[in-house]
């Protein structure tokens, strides 16, 4: 292949729309033009972040985790003659999938959440950046408790992640807070498999993952009154509020989206009840919700009579994103310190 500047390879027919020409330069300079062309196609299809997605799709088609322009060869092709047709054909396929509004994370098979990269499976909710704020509250509380117990011989903080989905919240706590003990629960067996696989892949050392429905008042009963942090990103969309974004509406599982009841808060209210039962006095509760549900969720938490300092926290876009509250002493709390359950009891408090 000729050197950069005049390098060009034939473009397969199915990639012509992507390349925008009968031949394409696959030097670093040519790839910049290709990214720009892909970004234009994605923008025309209404994709919210066309340039970012274009770079991600080109990188994935090249077999790279990301496009680091300074690391690409200054001269000559990035893709050789033999590999170029397959690269362009694969790029054309994934661009068309993204133009059809299939989520980028599902196309490339993974996403980054805080400090970890996790797999994204077809039957599990795609983690989203706004949930990182929810995870941060849980991480900060667990870290505070772990620091306070260091050197005392006391066990590390016990954190329960309800409706765990792909597991990113509990995994973040486990990875970022040495000594934390995490139990993750979801009603979906697929979500539990995904969480367990993601935890193993990132080296999450203490997490235990269980199948369970948060609406079951006996869920994790052996931990009643012993949990330091309960965190959750439950399904909360009302039945008549179909998501506008095709990436969510057409690709995320209904079980992970719709919270039940006329207001979408049947499952979130069950999470509140579970948190009331599970938390120690002084334990922290944090749960994600929709912006328009902030007042209703605060009322649900306050209405238990078991929490103080009930407040709403915003996400990075300034939208009301989660409720945070502190458990007070009260009824419905037990202290079964010796109970065990499969996959959890080897470090049950």
* CB 265, CB 300: distance < 8 Å: yes
Report CA 178 to chain centroid distance, whole Å: 21
Residue 148 corresponds to which tokens in the numbers above? 């306070």
- pLDDT tens-digit map of 8-22: 545 545 555 665 554
* CB 161, CB 169: distance < 8 Å: yes
CA contacts within 13 A on the Cβ side of 234: 30
Which has more pLDDT, 264 or 310?
310
Mean pLDDT over 118-140 rounds to 89
pLDDT at 240 over 50: yes
* CB 4, CB 79: distance < 8 Å: no
169 vs 171: CA distance, rounded Å: 5
Q: Which residues contact 102 (CB under 8 A, 6 or more apart)?
A: 247, 251
Residue 199 corresponds to which tokens in the numbers above? 């935890």
- pLDDT tens-digit map of 29-67: 778 888 999 999 999 999 989 999 999 999 899 888 887
Report the CATH architecture of 112-347. 3-Layer(aba) Sandwich (3.40)
Q: Could you tell me the residue ranges of all domains in the chain?
A: 9-100, 112-347
């Amino acid at each position: 292949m000729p050197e950069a500047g005049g390098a060009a390879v034939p473009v397969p027919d199915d990639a012509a729309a992507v390349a925008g020409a009968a031949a394409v330069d696959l030097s670093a300079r040519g790839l910049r033009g290709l990214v720009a062309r892909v970004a234009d196609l994605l923008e025309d299809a209404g994709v919210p972040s066309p340039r970012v997605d274009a770079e991600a799709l080109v990188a994935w088609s090249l077999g790279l985790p990301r496009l680091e322009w300074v690391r690409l060869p200054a001269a000559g092709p990035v893709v050789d003659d033999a590999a170029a047709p397959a690269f362009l054909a694969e790029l054309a396929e994934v661009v068309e999938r993204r133009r059809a509004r299939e989520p980028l994370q599902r196309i490339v098979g993974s996403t980054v959440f805080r400090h970890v990269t996790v797999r994204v499976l077809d039957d599990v909710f795609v983690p989203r950046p706004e949930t990182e704020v929810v995870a941060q509250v849980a991480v900060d509380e667990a870290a505070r408790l772990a620091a306070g117990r260091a050197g005392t011989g006391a066990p590390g903080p016990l954190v329960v992640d309800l409706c765990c989905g792909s597991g990113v919240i509990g995994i973040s706590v486990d990875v970022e807070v040495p000594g934390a003990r995490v139990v993750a629960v979801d009603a979906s067996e697929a979500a539990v498999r995904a969480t367990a696989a993601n935890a193993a892949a990132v080296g999450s050392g203490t997490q235990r993952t269980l199948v369970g429905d948060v609406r079951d008042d006996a869920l994790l009963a052996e931990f009643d009154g012993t949990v330091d942090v309960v965190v959750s990103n439950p399904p909360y969309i009302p039945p008549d509020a179909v998501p506008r974004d095709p990436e969510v509406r057409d690709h995320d599982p209904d079980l992970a989206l719709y919270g039940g009841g006329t207001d979408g808060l049947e499952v979130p209210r069950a999470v509140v009840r579970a948190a009331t039962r599970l938390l120690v006095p002084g334990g922290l509760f944090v749960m994600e919700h929709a912006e328009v549900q902030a007042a209703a969720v605060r009322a649900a938490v306050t209405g238990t009579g078991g929490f103080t300092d009930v407040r709403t926290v915003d996400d990075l876009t300034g939208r009301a994103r989660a409720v945070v509250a502190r458990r007070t002493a009260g009824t419905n709390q037990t202290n079964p310190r010796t109970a065990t359950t499969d996959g959890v009891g080897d470090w049950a408090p």
